[in-house]
Amino acid sequence: MIAALALLLRAALASADDDAAAILGAARAAQARFSDKSSRVEMRVVAPSGEVRVRTLRGLEKRTDGGRKLLWLFESPAEIAGTGFLAWQQPPARDEMWVYFPGQRRVRRISPELRREQFQGSTFTYEDLTTVFYLDYDGSHALRGDESCGTHRCRVVETELPDGRFAYRRLRTWIRDEDHLPERIELAGDGVTKHLRVLRTEVVQGIPTIVEAEMTSDADGYRTIVRYSDVHYDRGLGDEQFTVGALERNGK
């Protein structure tokens, strides 16, 4: 009898884990319904004192076979205008990242340890922008029920991340039932607790799209609000726009 109950329990847990993986898979697919994307981006970094620093940039994204390429080019303020960030993602290989600083007139490869650094003084790290934001991570997933998310209904998925792979050890993600977009993500690690909230979404060219999100940090009280505008899909962006050479040329 005890053995039979143990088997039933293991089967139920396996089924819940499969459900969690399927929900995450649907959420990833919801953010991959296009070949390429371009947008204008505003980042507002808010200090605990209330001081606000604003950055504006242009963002480009291109889907590849099994991966993604990202390019961010800063336009303001003047002291960082021309700075660029390029990432190539081709799982299971580790992401390749580069940054261009116009003052140095050189492209610098971002080492694995620097990927956990703050991105241009924001609450986001490089890994947050390229991996966490897209729910693009491996780990052990478990379904933790469903909850009301304002006007939405969300499934809650908890992920235990592989040791040492990210700055975080555990993620908890609220995923909306109707369009599979994330509503919020809690990120927890050794001495690190952050919260990503999706503040506003729109349907652009028939695709549910995050157009405003906020990341907050419990450690220092800083928060960063990211707003996307002038969003366009499938304009035929070429691979030549996502090269190290293009990163340097765009920064001059």
163-202 confidence digits (pLDDT tens) = 888 889 999 999 999 999 999 999 998 888 999 999 999 9
**SS3 of 195-216:** EEEEEEEEEECCEEEEEEEEEE
Looking at the DSSP assignment, which residues form a beta bridge with residue 225?
44, 214
**Domain architecture of the chain: domains with CATH:** 2-251 (2.50.20.10)
Looking at the DSSP assignment, which residues form a beta bridge with residue 141?
159
pLDDT tens-digit map of 93-117: 788 999 999 888 889 999 887 888 8
Nearest CA to 160 among 168, 170, 152, 151? 170
Helices assigned H by DSSP within 86-144: 126-130
Q: In one letter, which amino acid is 225? A: I
For the chain, give the number of residues: 252
Average pLDDT in the chain: 88
Question: Is the full-model pTM beyond 0.75?
Answer: yes
